[in-house]
DNA sequence: CATGAATGAGAGTTCATTCAT
DNA sequence: GATGAATGAACTCTCATTCAT
């Protein structure tokens, strides 16, 4: 009966707006989503959205930045727990990345299709952790090649290929499909390890 | 001095409109592209676009359908010239698919990002050759696995992974980059062959 | 029954929009006037206004620029017909200026109250002839003082006083009032001649 | 350490809001000024403004009424100190009126440009002392004409001309300009005396 | 084929104002 | 007194599309 418990059940408006925006961006696309439909889904007036966010772009920025950061964090955490061998690091990174993509399918799809609609300034606020993440993958792959574990042409390009492959999960994955997110991620780990020409000793 | 020769220099309006639309869809996205900017780029009035196409959706449909069909054709032609072994077929298909993607980067990017904005009816007019193409890849991969050439979990899913990986080329490839389209396609052929766990006999 | 004669009766849309805008700016003020009310008064849709003018500011600019230019022209024409003596020039200028103000009361009132709402760029497009006009008055007044016909402190300031006095006509003059525009203008000519301390030889 | 001394330093909210409103009305105009910017300038929330004033109109009314009353009072005080002769009364009134206008430039400008945005009821609450003031000027001018000191056509109209001329001071006067408020007011006294055709005996 | 003019629908955004706290 | 959150109404401006010519 107190404020805390009720707020535990119905999330605060700000979060409800973000959730609604993600849903709308996902189903309709950024441009086709309207502040009015977002607001209605969030259960408030369109005007009130502007009490919490500067404008429509800001909604997209917040959503994408949060997703990017979380995904990066997930990957780094996985790496910390994995063995030091390049193959283990590589697989751990790909699996974690894929797992996050499958589990946050909406946000990841939006990130891959709507990022382009942000202006230069806002895009920079989002792509930071994306670039860092890519750099992480490149480092691991290069270590693998240098150590003779991997054998693949154009390492950097291979990393790009793997990352877009993983991002693609967001295009088709459904939680109620035949494979669990974990199963999908695991197989993508295998694909990626194969892709870089890993040959067990 | 005949019509044909003049049309060889300045393409007919219909084609100019399609070219303009592709360019606008590519740079601005389907929703942000306006009939006016498309028309201006094509060098005619907005009203005149409607003398050649039913509506804005139709422009997207035409562009995507043509690209899909051409890509499918390119892939089938490559398969006809390739050896019968699964590895050869698989590589030929991936290379052809990738090559088309790199060489038609704009259309392929639009196909992957804007297809969702078509309604059910129009989307069906486009996805036919896409599905056929996917089916082709699946058939080859399954043959490879059945014959023991390939070793990969969840074949169908692996094909999806490969196709999204190839589609990703459209996201970053630039004709004036360090690698030629052919070089990129060749390395993607290697990636794909690795990915399915190919082991030369 | 032909197009020409009908267009002679009902002015073209562009002019109807300008007329409507002036009326709305006059009665409601620039900010309170809406594109919808302007359009409705002009007998077209709000959207169509944008086929003829870039935006709301442009409406104000066009109205004010035309009024400024016409007023300047009226003053210069009057000067050409007047005698060379400073008193004659001065009176002619003031009377012409006042006459225009009374006869174009709406435009002049809008010019004096709404000019401030234009941004720097647009304001410059309007104030050119205003400044030129002021310079004209100053030149005449200074000649009068130099020749001993006028005797007034701070000549430039006196000109400003006269011009604001004349502009004030737009605040209260009504065509159906007791005095004709010409009668009002004539008496303002007297006021202005008195004001600069004219003493007939 | 008591309330009075502290209020001497930081004025009470009500006054801070009025000051802020005047500043905003002056720089942006009544319609463009928002309750939020006014509140921010006053250092409180927009909602709090409504604890002190009924609505936005009320802010304008309060400002204009105070200014009108003060100006009227200033004029009457000046008249009491001046000699009885029409020329002395007339000059004293104009100088006092001008002086107030220069010294309260912002309020006077707002009074002359934004009064029109008040509805009938509110406008009446403001124009009372304006009308009274005009009546005062007319009385003096008519006495001057009746006594043969002044010679000017359409006395009432001449008064209007003088009052708008004085009001114009608010348009251009700046405290840091070349002339002091007193100097400006004095020369406007001369202009006005000239204007009514004063001939020293 | 081609166009300028026209429009209904709707988008993002703002704002004066209210109200629970 | 004071506030943050909320809202209905309205505004400027855009856009796909139509139509007379």
Nearest nt to the CA of D43 via C1' is F2
**Mean local confidence (pLDDT), A156-160:** 98
Residue owning tokens 């007297």: C190
Size of chain D, expressed as the number of residues it contains: 201
Closest CA of chain A from B129, distance in Å: 18
Q: What CATH code is carried by the domain that includes residue A101?
A: 1.10.357.10
* Residue range A185-195, pLDDT digits in tens: 999 999 999 99
Q: Which residues of C touch D168 (CB under 8 A)?
A: 160-161, 163-165, 167-168
Q: Please tell me whether residues C86 and C36 are part of one structural domain.
A: no
Residue that terminates a domain, selected from D30, D53, D76: D53
**In this structure, is the CB of residue C52 within 7 Å of any atom belonging to strand F?**
no
Q: State how far the Cα of D180 lies from the Cα of D174, in Å rounded to an integer.
A: 9
pLDDT (0 to 100) of residue D11: 76
Q: Please tell me whether residues B138 and B168 are part of one structural domain.
A: yes
CB within 8 Å: C153 and D116: no
pLDDT (0 to 100) of residue C119: 87
Q: What is the percent of chain B with per-residue pLDDT over 90, rounded to a whole number?
A: 85
A10 touches chain B (CB under 8 A): no
pLDDT over 60 at C8, yes or no:
no
**Mean local confidence (pLDDT), B116-136:** 90
In a domain, C156, yes or no: yes
Q: Which residues of A touch B123 (CB under 8 A)?
A: none
Average of per-residue pLDDT values in chain D = 93
For an interface test with C, the pick among D191, D192, D196 (most C C-beta atoms closer than 10 Å) comes out as: D191
Between residues B118 and B45, the one the model is more confident about: B45
In a domain, A201, yes or no: no
pLDDT (0 to 100) of residue A119: 87
Residue that terminates a domain, selected from A53, A73, A88: A53
In a domain, B25, yes or no: yes
Q: Please tell me whether residues C76 and C145 are part of one structural domain.
A: yes
In a domain, D58, yes or no: no
Residue owning tokens 């001497």: D8
In a domain, C107, yes or no: yes
In a domain, B138, yes or no: yes
pLDDT (0 to 100) of residue D117: 87
pLDDT (0 to 100) of residue C2: 40
Between residues B153 and B6, the one the model is more confident about: B153
Closest CA of chain D from C182, distance in Å: 14
pLDDT over 70 at B129, yes or no:
yes
DSSP letters along B94-133, please?
A: HHHHHHHHHHTHHHHHHHHHHGGGS-HHHHHHHHHHHHHH
* CB nearest B160 (choices: A158, A160, A168): A168
pLDDT over 50 at A140, yes or no:
yes
In the structure, how far is the CA atom of residue A113 from the C1' atom of nucleotide F10, in angstroms?
34
Q: Please tell me whether residues C15 and C69 are part of one structural domain.
A: no
In a domain, A200, yes or no: no
pLDDT (0 to 100) of residue A125: 85
pLDDT (0 to 100) of residue A201: 60
pLDDT (0 to 100) of residue A188: 98
Size of chain B, expressed as the number of residues it contains: 201
Q: What is the percent of chain A with per-residue pLDDT over 90, rounded to a whole number?
A: 87
A117 touches chain B (CB under 8 A): yes
* CB nearest A164 (choices: B113, B154, B168): B168
pLDDT (0 to 100) of residue D101: 98
Q: Please tell me whether residues C117 and C147 are part of one structural domain.
A: yes
- A1 is in which domain, residue-wise? 1-53
Average of per-residue pLDDT values in chain C = 93
Task: Tell which phi-psi region holds residue A55, choosing left (phi > 0), alpha (psi between -120 and 50) or beta.
Answer: beta
Domain count, chain A: 2
Q: State how far the Cα of C40 lies from the Cα of C51, in Å rounded to an integer.
A: 15
* Residue range A75-132, pLDDT digits in tens: 999 999 999 999 999 999 999 999 999 999 999 999 999 998 888 888 888 899 899 9
Q: Please tell me whether residues A27 and A123 are part of one structural domain.
A: no
CB within 8 Å: B154 and A187: yes
Q: What angle do CA A124, A76, A163 make, to 5 degrees?
A: 60
CB within 8 Å: A158 and B191: yes
Whole-structure pTM value: 0.90
Q: Please tell me whether residues D174 and D89 are part of one structural domain.
A: yes
**In this structure, is the CB of residue A13 within 7 Å of any atom belonging to strand F?**
yes
CB within 8 Å: C187 and D153: yes
* CB nearest C188 (choices: D161, D163, D187): D161
pLDDT over 80 at B7, yes or no:
no
* Residue range B10-47, pLDDT digits in tens: 679 999 999 999 999 999 999 999 999 999 999 999 99
Q: Please tell me whether residues C184 and C86 are part of one structural domain.
A: yes
pLDDT (0 to 100) of residue B200: 74
* Residue range C54-72, pLDDT digits in tens: 999 999 999 999 999 999 9
The region of weakest confidence among A9-13, A38-42, B46-50, B127-131 is A9-13
Q: Please tell me whether residues B13 and B112 are part of one structural domain.
A: no
pLDDT over 70 at D169, yes or no:
yes
The region of weakest confidence among B2-6, B92-96, C17-21, C153-157 is B2-6
In a domain, D123, yes or no: yes
The Cβ of residue B132 has, within 10 Å, a number of other Cβ atoms equal to 14
Q: Which residues of A touch B165 (CB under 8 A)?
A: 161-162, 164-165, 168
Listed in sequence order, the residues at least 6 apart from D76 whose beta carbon sits closer than 8 Å to its beta carbon are D136
Distances (CA, A) of D18 to A66, C65, D8, D49, D57: 44, 36, 16, 10, 12
* Residue range B147-158, pLDDT digits in tens: 999 999 999 999
**Mean local confidence (pLDDT), C159-163:** 98
B162 touches chain A (CB under 8 A): yes
User: Which protein residues, judged by their CB atom, are less than 7 Å from any atom of strand E?
Assistant: A 33-36, 46-47, 50, 55-57; B 13, 44-48, 50-52; C 13, 44-48, 50-52; D 32-36, 46-47, 50, 55-57
Q: Please tell me whether residues A161 and A64 are part of one structural domain.
A: yes
Q: State how far the Cα of A197 lies from the Cα of B193, in Å rounded to an integer.
A: 10
**In this structure, is the CB of residue D6 within 7 Å of any atom belonging to strand F?**
no
Q: Please tell me whether residues C71 and C161 are part of one structural domain.
A: yes
Are C71 and C33 within 8 A, CB to CB?
Answer: no
pLDDT (0 to 100) of residue C4: 40
Structure tokens at D189: 């006294």
**In this structure, is the CB of residue C56 within 7 Å of any atom belonging to strand F?**
yes
Closest CA of chain C from D162, distance in Å: 7
Listed in sequence order, the residues at least 6 apart from A44 whose beta carbon sits closer than 8 Å to its beta carbon are A13, A16, A17
Q: What CATH code is carried by the domain that includes residue C16?
A: 1.10.10.60
A101-104, long-range: CB < 8 A, 24+ apart = A101/A71, A101/A166, A101/A167, A101/A169, A101/A170, A101/A173, A102/A169, A102/A170, A102/A173, A102/A181, A102/A184, A102/A185, A103/A181, A104/A67, A104/A70, A104/A71
Q: How confident is the model at residue C121 (pLDDT cuts 50, 70, 90)?
A: confident
Q: Please tell me whether residues C90 and C111 are part of one structural domain.
A: yes
How many CA atoms lie less than 13 Å away from D170 in the CB half-sphere? 22
């Amino acid at each position: 009966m107190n404020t805390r418990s009720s707020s535990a059940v119905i999330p605060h408006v700000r979060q409800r707006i973000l959730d609604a925006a993600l849903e709308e961006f996902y189903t309709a696309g950024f441009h086709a989503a309207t502040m009015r439909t977002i607001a209605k889904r969030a259960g408030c007036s369109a005007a009130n959205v502007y009490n919490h966010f500067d404008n429509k772009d800001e909604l997209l920025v917040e959503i994408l930045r949060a997703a990017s950061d979380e995904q990066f964090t997930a990957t780094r955490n996985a790496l910390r727990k994995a063995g030091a061998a390049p193959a283990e690091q590589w697989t751990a990174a790909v699996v974690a990345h894929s797992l996050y993509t499958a589990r946050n399918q909406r946000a990841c799809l939006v990130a891959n299709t709507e990022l382009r609609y942000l202006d230069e300034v806002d895009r920079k606020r989002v792509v930071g952790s994306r670039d860092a993440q890519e750099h992480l993958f490149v480092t691991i792959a290069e270590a693998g090649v240098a150590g003779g574990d991997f054998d693949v042409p154009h390492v950097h390009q291979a990393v790009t290929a793997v990352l877009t492959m993983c991002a693609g999960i967001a295009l088709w994955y459904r939680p109620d499909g035949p494979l669990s997110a974990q199963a999908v991620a695991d197989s993508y780990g295998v694909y990626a390890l194969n892709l870089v020409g890993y040959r067990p000793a």
